[in-house]
């Protein structure tokens, strides 16, 4: 369906079932009539359609998301939780941090550049609406088959959009993921995360308080872009030929957004604002109804005062438009002139479009005619809630029974070497430099760690060195095998990636990407994943501060792998003591923390080498995961580690290769007794990390591990002289004990293989 049909539905309410073109069901339309006691106007229909969409109302997910509140652990650090634009946590010394991740999936397939760019812009506005200065962004991305012709179109556009918008804003892109899997063909995932910092006193909330206060719309003018985006595009599946519903995707202007950031922070810090809300999905419909619902409960809006880019827009289109770079503020009448003066200073257009009242209604006038008269809570918060049918899919047992045990495995040193070189160059494990080089990772000068490190890290306070680390993770193949454990494994990996750098994990955000909620098997996956994540967060004492649900990520009846992306934020008291990935000093000892088991189901080896998905994902003991994090943080704090790296995708082989390539210093490593070399190198057992320990710290380190009853196995030593000993012109990574032989891997050869893959596919 085209945007023209959406507009026809809006402007011709007498046509039969106009609500169907707007994404509303028959029973939902009848509910609206019951709430109003009459037939809705076309403008009211527009508001309800976008606000009751899956993307805005969470009508299929609410019943399960409640677990994040019901099972929320007590946390003294949590200052603002679920329900606001973004969560806020206390990191000490009067500083607070807000962070959140959201999706912009379907728009990024229809129009990759603008879809991704406006995804970044939207999450940045969520952060500034809390009163925080944005300090970093991250972008967990998922694409289809890397060899498919359309993947090049989608990936290059999305990467350009993320980089173009973020670079123009002057925000460092410090982390994220790029994952390829055929399940995302036609349904790429663009999840955007932003981190912001503020003092405690600067926190602001989205509520319209104060009878008689003015409602000011400021920022870019309202245009026709994005009409029906959340109700029509984001809340429906694609058909087999692609998106059947193609409303115009929002168009971003990062330079306007930069001005909007500075203007917003100035009016907030000057005390000129009583409540504030960004305009993203559902536009003015969302901002006015949510502000009114969260405040005194009443608001009147003069819609004809809205500044337009297109004078032909109908009132319904103005209410639904998702034009970017707009904010809505509630301001006392005596402060309006001062507010407008700040806007003028930053060359930002602003206009009073409404007033807070105690009517309990949201009313909207258009050139003297009342076109909306609704209870605001019915629009913003009391929409339909579905407890949709869920059922474990019939094929789940067969998938889990299809274990990878019989897949051919390398059985000699030569085959191990061949596998090593093949794995290092697979699209999912290969270096992402071709992408990350398009992002500015160090602008603003406070980036301490960035890709390809385990976590991005930002300095918050120059004097004390206080900082935060953030990581996002998800192995969707694990979730496809067992969504409960898969979500917990995603959380555990992100938690571990933060701890590896020396930061203490503090809080969680998530972006839950799934297929159609109208499919009982998808709803079962969703319920299992949410339950698994809520249980893990409770056990590990990390509250969920907010997040996003993205449904309808499927083409026809083929859904993506369940992809619960989990972001974890941690705090470090002094960024100078961070633990990097690269080893450095000759003679330092390489240890693997944790136990390696024969766990290859859902692994990158099974996927990349054999195109296999089956069995059960690796086991997970959250108590051990917490112990591992305590060891990693204590080792960093006490100066035991010179380097550390988590073990996840690609196993120990990938971790060792990445550490060697990052440092360009050789090492002699070996296979421990009692384990098959292949299993040791490529198993993806959870709760493991590699640490590099100075010889002078070895006894203290091993004693710490023994006291916590945690396995620590020495597997190597840093040795830059090894190349000379074996006559290699290049630094080498040597692995001894591989079926009674040694495997020698020149680091330059590893780097060449790793860095060649993405340019060959997309460059």
Distance CA 83, CA 549 (A): 13
235 Cβ contact list (under 8 Å, min separation 6) = 23, 53, 54, 55, 551, 552
Per the omega criterion (within 30 degrees of 0), is the bond before 452 cis? yes
104 flagged as catalytic? yes
Classified as helix, coil or strand, 714 is strand
b/e per residue, 562-596, with b = 16+ CB within 10 A?
Answer: bbbbbbbbbbbbebeebbbbbbeeeebbbbbbbbb
- Write the DSSP string, 516-551: -TTSHHHHHHHHHHHHHHHHHHHHHT--EEEEEEE-
Going from the C-alpha of 19 to that of each of 42, 43, 384, the distances in angstroms are 9, 12, 15
Q: Do 129 and 136 contact (CB within 8 A), yes or no? A: no
Element (H, E) at 92: strand 87-92
Classified as helix, coil or strand, 159 is helix
The closest alpha carbon to 452, from 465, 466, 434, 468, belongs to 434
Annotated active-site residue in 55, 64, 106, 561: 55
The count of C-alpha atoms lying within 13 angstroms of the C-alpha of 682, restricted to the half-sphere facing its C-beta, is 23
Task: Name the residue with tokens 């380097």.
Answer: 643
Annotated active-site residue in 64, 104, 106, 607: 104
Kindly list the strands in the beta sheet with 467-473, ordered across the sheet, starting from the edge strand earlier in the chain: 447-449, 456-459, 467-473, 563-572, 504-513, 544-550
Cα 464 → chain centroid: 29
Distance CA 54, CA 386 (A): 10
227 exposure class (CB count in 10 Å sphere: 0-12, 13-18, 19+): buried
Phi, psi of 332 (to 5 degrees): -60, 145
Q: Which two tokens mark 159?
A: 């990467």
Cα 651 → chain centroid: 23
Q: Do 265 and 128 contact (CB within 8 A), yes or no? A: yes
Distance CA 453, CA 663 (A): 12
Rounded to a whole number of angstroms, the distance between the first and last alpha carbons of the chain is: 34
Residues 32/38/42/45 CA torsion (nearest 10 deg): 0
Q: Do 168 and 175 contact (CB within 8 A), yes or no? A: no
Task: Name the residue with tokens 């790429």.
Answer: 188
Distance CA 602, CA 582 (A): 28
133 Cβ contact list (under 8 Å, min separation 6) = 196, 197, 198, 261, 265
55 flagged as catalytic? yes
Q: Which residues participate in catalysis according to the annotation?
A: 55, 104
């Amino acid at each position: 369906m085209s945007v023209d049909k959406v507009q026809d539905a809006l402007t011709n309410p007498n046509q039969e079932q106009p609500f169907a073109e707007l994404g509303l069901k028959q029973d939902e339309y009848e509910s609206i009539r019951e709430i109003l006691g009459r037939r809705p106007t076309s403008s009211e229909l527009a508001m309800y359609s976008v606000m009751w969409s899956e993307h805005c109302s969470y009508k299929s997910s609410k019943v399960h998301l409640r677990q994040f509140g019901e099972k929320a652990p007590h946390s003294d650090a949590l200052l603002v939780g679920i329900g606001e634009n973004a969560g806020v946590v206390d990191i000490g010394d009067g500083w607070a941090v807000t962070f959140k991740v959201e999706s912009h999936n379907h728009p990024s397939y229809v129009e990759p550049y603008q879809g991704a760019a406006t995804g970044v812009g939207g999450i940045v506005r969520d952060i500034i609406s809390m009163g925080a200065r944005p300090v970093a962004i991250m972008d967990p991305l998922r694409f289809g088959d890397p060899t498919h012709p359309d993947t090049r179109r989608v990936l290059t556009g999305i990467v350009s959009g993320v980089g173009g918008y973020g670079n123009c804003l002057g925000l460092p892109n410090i982390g994220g993921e790029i994952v390829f899997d055929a399940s995302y063909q036609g349904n790429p995932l663009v999840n955007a995360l932003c981190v912001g910092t503020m003092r405690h006193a600067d926190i602001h909330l989205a509520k319209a308080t104060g009878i008689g206060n003015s409602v000011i719309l400021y920022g870019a003018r309202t245009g026709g872009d994005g009409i029906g985006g959340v109700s029509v595009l984001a809340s429906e599946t694609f058909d087999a030929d692609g998106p059947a519903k193609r409303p115009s995707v929002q168009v971003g202007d990062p330079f306007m957004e930069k001005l909007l950031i500075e203007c917003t922070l100035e009016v907030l810090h000057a005390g000129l604002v009583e409540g504030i809300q960004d305009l993203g999905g559902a536009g003015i419909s969302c901002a006015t109804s949510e502000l009114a619902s969260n405040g005194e409960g009443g608001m009147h809006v003069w819609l004809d005062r809205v500044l337009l880019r297109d004078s032909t827009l109908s009132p319904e289109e103005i209410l639904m438009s998702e034009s970017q770079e707009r904010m809505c503020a509630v301001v006392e009448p005596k402060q309006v002139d001062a507010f407008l003066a700040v806007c003028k200073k930053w060359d930002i257009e602003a206009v009073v479009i409404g007033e807070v009242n105690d009517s309990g209604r949201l009313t909207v006038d258009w050139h003297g005619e009342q076109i909306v008269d609704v209870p605001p809570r019915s629009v913003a918060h009391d929409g339909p809630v579905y407890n949709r049918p869920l059922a474990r899919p019939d094929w789940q047992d067969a998938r889990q029974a299809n274990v990878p045990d019989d897949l051919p495995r390398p059985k000699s040193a030569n085959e191990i070497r061949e596998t090593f070189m093949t794995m290092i160059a697979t699209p999912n494990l290969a270096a992402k430099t071709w992408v990350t080089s398009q992002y500015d990772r160090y602008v603003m000068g406070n980036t301490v760690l960035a890709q390809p490190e385990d976590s991005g890290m930002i300095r918050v306070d120059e004097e004390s060195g206080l900082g935060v680390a953030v990581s996002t993770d998800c192995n969707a193949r694990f979730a496809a095998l067992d969504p409960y454990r898969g979500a917990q494994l995603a959380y555990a990996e992100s938690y571990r990636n933060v701890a590896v750098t020396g930061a203490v994990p503090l809080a969680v955000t998530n972006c839950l990407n799934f297929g159609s909620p109208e499919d009982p098997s998808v709803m079962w996956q969703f319920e299992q994943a949410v339950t698994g994540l809520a249980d893990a967060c409770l056990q590990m004492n990390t509250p969920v501060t907010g997040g996003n649900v993205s449904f309808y990520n499927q083409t026809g009846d083929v859904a993506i792998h369940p992809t619960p992306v989990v972001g974890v934020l941690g705090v470090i008291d002094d960024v100078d003591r961070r633990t990097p990935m690269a080893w450095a000093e000759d003679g330092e000892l390489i240890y693997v923390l944790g136990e390696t088991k024969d766990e290859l189901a859902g692994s990158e080896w099974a996927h990349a080498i054999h195109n296999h998905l089956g069995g059960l994902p690796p086991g997970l003991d959250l108590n051990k995961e917490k112990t591992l994090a305590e060891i990693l943080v204590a080792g960093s704090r006490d100066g035991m580690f010179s380097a550390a790296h988590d073990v996840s995708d690609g196993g120990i082989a990938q971790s060792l290769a990445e550490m060697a390539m990052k440092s360009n210093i050789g090492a002699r490593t070996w296979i421990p007794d009692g384990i098959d070399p292949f299993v040791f190198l490529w198993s993806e057992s959870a709760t493991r990390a590699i640490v590099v320990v100075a010889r002078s710290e070895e006894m203290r380190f091993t004693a710490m591990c023994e006291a916590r009853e945690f396995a620590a196995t020495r597997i190597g030593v840093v040795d830059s002289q090894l190349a000379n000993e074996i006559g290699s012109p290049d630094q080498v990574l040597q692995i001894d004990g591989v079926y009674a032989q040694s495997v020698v891997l020149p680091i330059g050869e590893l780097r060449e293989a790793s860095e060649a893959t993405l340019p060959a596919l997309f460059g």
